[in-house]
Amino acid sequence: MAANSTNSQANNISIQPREWGFLGSFRAMASPCEVLMAVSDPYIAEQMLQLAFQEAKRIEQKFSRFIEGNVIWHLNHANGVAKPIDAETLHLFQFAQQCYQLSDGAFDISACALMSLWRFDGQQRLPKHSDITQAIQHVGLSRMTLTDNHVYLPSGMSIDFGGIGKEYAVDKTAQMLAKQWPDYSVLVNFGGDIACPISKADGWQVGIENPLHLDNAAALLTIRQGALATSGTTRRYIEVDGRRYGHIINPKTGYPVEQAPLSVTVLAQNCVMAGMLATMSMLKGPDAEAFLQQQGVDFKVFRG
Amino acid sequence: MQLTSTQSIASALALASCSLIGQSQAAETLPANDDWKVDAAIMYYGEQDRVQAAEAIGNVQKAFGDSSLLDLKIVVDSLTGASASGAVAQAQSQTFTRPSGKGEYTVKAGETPLDDTFHDTRVQLSANWQEILNQDWTGNVGVYASKEFDYLSMGLNGGIERSFNKNNTTLALSGAFTHDVVDPVGGRPVALSEMVFRSDYNSDAEYQAAFDQTRLEGDDTKQTTDVMIGVTQILNRNWLMQANYGLSSVSGYMTDPYKILSEVDVNGLTQGYRYENRPDSRLKHSVFLMTKGALDSGVVDFSYRYSTDDWDITSHTLETHYRYYFSPSFYGQLHLRYYQQQAAEFYQPFLMAGDALPEYASADYRIGDMTAYTIGLKFGQRLSGGHEMTYRLEYYQQNPENNGTDIPGQLQNYDLFPSVKAIVAQVSYSF
């Protein structure tokens, strides 16, 4: 539908009519992003998609640790100097702090130094134990100091909002869409993290992939309102001497969590909460299912 | 873990996440699904030179909460025009006694005899209740009645569906029972009795006595029991498949009281006409396979139906619909259907004078060998406020064929198996 398409080479923004409305898609945060809009007016759909794209890009630019010159880059290059932050960044830090406490230190946005030792790109050997002990010295969010407008990171510590950022972008985008167009149901899907802020009478059909069989949706579920997030990536592990090391690193030991699920999908009232519960359950290793059951949320766990 | 209550993690995260994204923490409340949905349609069906039908359809759906759905439907149709009586064309004009016994009609030389006494109005009412019993089970029950001048039909139906495998598989079992009462104009003809003519009698009274000899007293009934089992399987995100097996058992009066057969001699000359007769039981099996897929901007389905019964009627139906969304509020749909049927074992285009009369015989082309096809286009337009208009136009052609009967003498000059061409037009409005 040439008339309805906006094509940008880099971001691949496109919009296509569907039976139920419009499907908008683009790339951001290293993921394919989709916005499903139960809207019949192409003009409104175009505006919605533009809003979603702008918001996703804004959050990526602001909080990605791979983009030079943004607030995260400045913090990671502060060398022990306190740096000013704005309200939005403060809220994200406060949330990360709460998650650190709730998970008893298992979820830690300051674990960058450790994570970079573990490369799950087919490497056949483990990081050196001495490197791990060395890296752990620079890890531990409890050593961060946060005030209303400044953050202080000890020298050598760096932070990464990768474990929250995409879910946060989904919720923010969903919230903005719902505020501006309260009468239209939308589904915001950034790389599998999903939110539906306005109830859709017949629901949206969402497929959950089985990490072992990526070609087929392993389960279909209907979402009327709420959010869903998945933690876990496929085919990412190191195998050394017949022992498999998964990609979920315990920041306290510096080693992969044993018997972690391949993936965990959680349904919750918003995407940030769903994502955090999914991540925390992964960190529980063999107890992932028991943990989620205790939380009283709907979930789907795949194990290898 | 030092936390004594892990449940508190979810609650704490709920608070923390809401404060982060600045949304109210109000519990989600789903609006009750109690909308009315109303469909109204008018349809025209017209066969070239034959039956014309106009139909008005009203359908109301009302949901009660999320688990119950009531569906009420009324259809009123009015039929006029002529339909093939079963008699064959002749080189001379032919005169027939009307089914009522009162009056006659004449068919011109060379023309396929059509009975033009066919006028009727039919009213159909149905009500269906569907109930989602729980996550896995859905049930439905319904009643049905239809009435036309010479026919009354009443039915009950029910079904149950069970979902498995996270709703990826659905098994369905349904059944229906229908009781029909047939009370033809002029009475039911005596099986294979000969048509009488006023001109062969001296008085009205003598004619009426002779006509009454060809008729049975009172009405008759027919009972139909249908059972269907089906499975629907979601294959992947875009495709699903459905397979059904149906068994239908009918007993009672299935003869068409208005259909006749010509009795011809070896030269193809008509010697008289006899009223048809069909068996009073029929057992039918059918298998239906369908796959349906969601495409970019469209939906497509393909289906095949095989049907066979103990009258030896076997049929194959291939059908497809392809819907393309030009925009979310406007679609076009193409419909193609091909149908092929093998004749009933007692079907014959005419009787041969002098041969022993068979027990059952019918010259009704609808149970003879035939192929048929449909080509249709439909457009749907979604209007503001959830209203929708659809327009459908279809061409339908039936091509009856000779079932292998030798055609004697002058009958070879005529098309004994003329095609029937029809147009279907429909406009619907949903709100």
Tell me if A130 sits within 8 A of A117, measured CB to CB. no
CB contact under 8 A, B328 and A19: yes
Best CA proximity match to B178, nearest among B130, B146, B219: B146
CATH of domain B33-430: 2.40.160.40
Q: Does any CB of chain A come closer than 8 Å to the CB of residue B326?
A: yes
Could you tell me if B1 lies within 8 Å of chain A, comparing CB atoms? yes
Identify the closest residue of chain A to B9 by CA–CA distance: A102
Domain map (residue ranges) of chain A: 2-64+166-198, 70-160
Helix, strand, coil distribution of chain A in percent, nearest 5: 35, 25, 40
Helix-helix angle A162-180:A42-63, to 10 degrees: 150
Q: According to the model, what pLDDT value does residue B386 have?
A: 63
How far is it, in rounded angstroms, from Cα A85 to Cα A161? 15
How high is the pLDDT of residue B134?
A: 82
* Chain B residues whose beta carbon lies within 8 Å of the beta carbon of residue A270: 17-18, 21, 23
* A188 close to B (CB below 8 A): no
Q: Searching chain A, which residue's CA lies closest to the CA of residue B27?
A: A269
Chain A interface disruption, residue of B2, B9, B164, most A CBs within 10 A = B9
Residues of A in contact with B331 (CB under 8 A): 19
Query: Does the CB of A210 have a partner CB in chain B at under 8 Å?
Result: no
Of B16, B31, B329, the CB nearest to A40: B329
Phi, psi values for residue B301, rounded to 5°:
-135, 155
B-contacting residues in A 211-240 (Cβ below 8 Å): 215-217, 219-221, 224-226
Average pLDDT for chain A: 85
Q: Interface pTM (ipTM) of the complex?
A: 0.87
- Is there a contact between A229 and A265 (Cβ–Cβ < 8 Å)? yes
Read off the pLDDT of residues A137-149 as tens digits, 9 standing for 90 and up: 889 999 999 888 8
> Does A92 lie at the interface with B, CB-CB under 8 angstroms?
yes
- Is the CB of B23 inside 8 Å of chain A's CB atoms? yes
For residue A52, give how far its alpha carbon lies from the nearest alpha carbon of chain B (Å): 15
Across the interface, do A273 and B28 touch by the CB < 8 Å criterion?
A: no
Q: Please tell me the predicted confidence (pLDDT) of residue A280.
A: 94
For residues B126 and B145, give the distance between their C-alpha atoms in angstroms, rounded to a whole number: 6
- Domains of chain B, residue spans: 33-430
Question: pLDDT by residue for chain B (431 residues), tens digit each?
Answer: 344 455 578 888 888 888 888 744 333 333 344 467 889 999 999 999 899 999 999 999 887 876 788 999 999 999 998 999 999 999 999 999 999 999 999 999 999 999 987 678 999 999 999 998 887 899 999 999 999 989 999 999 999 999 888 778 889 999 999 999 999 989 999 999 999 999 999 999 999 999 999 999 889 999 999 999 999 998 887 788 999 999 999 999 999 999 999 999 999 999 999 999 999 999 999 999 999 887 877 889 999 999 999 999 999 999 999 998 887 678 899 999 999 999 999 999 999 999 999 999 999 999 999 999 999 999 998 776 668 899 999 999 999 999 999 999 999 999 999 999 999 999 999 88
Give residues 173 to 212 of B whose Cβ lies within 8 Å of A: none
Q: Give residue for tokens 């619909």.
A: B321
Report CB contact under 8 Å: A92, B20: yes
Residues of B in contact with A175 (CB under 8 A): 21-23
Tell me if B297 and A168 make a contact (CB, 8 A cut-off): no
Residues 6+ apart with CB under 8 A from A210: A216, A217, A218, A219, A302
**Nearest residue, CB atoms, B237 vs list A17, A217, A296:** A217
User: How far is B59 from chain A, CA to nearest CA, in Å?
Assistant: 20
Cross-chain Cβ contact A18/B297 below 8 Å: yes
Chain B contacts in chain A segment 2-21 (CB below 8 A)? 4, 16-21
Contact predicate B282/B267, CB 8 Å: no
Distance CA A25, CA A27 (A): 7
Give the count of Cβ contacts less than 8 A between chain A and B.
118
Crossing angle, helix B7-21 and helix A288-295, to 10 degrees?
Answer: 70
Per-residue confidence (pLDDT) for residue A235, from 0 to 100 = 52
Q: Which residues of chain A have pLDDT under 70?
A: 1-11, 120-124, 210-218, 233-240, 242, 244
pLDDT score for A124: 67
- Cβ within 8 Å, pair A297-B167: no
Q: How far is the C-alpha of A69 from the C-alpha of B258, rounded, in Å?
A: 90
Nearest to B351 by CA among B411, B413, B281, B415: B411
User: Is B13 part of the contact surface with chain A (CB cutoff 8 Å)?
Assistant: yes
Asked if the C-beta of A295 comes within 8 angstroms of chain B's C-beta atoms, the answer is: yes
Task: Report the chain A residue with the minimal C-alpha distance to residue B295.
Answer: A18
Interface contact B19, partner A, CB < 8 A: yes
Q: Which CATH number describes the domain made up of A70-160? A: 1.10.3980.10
When CB atoms are compared, the residue of B33, B236, B328 closest to A216 is B236
- Give residue A204's pLDDT: 86
Q: In chain A, whose CA is at the least distance from the CA of B385?
A: A40
Task: Give the pLDDT of residue A19.
Answer: 83
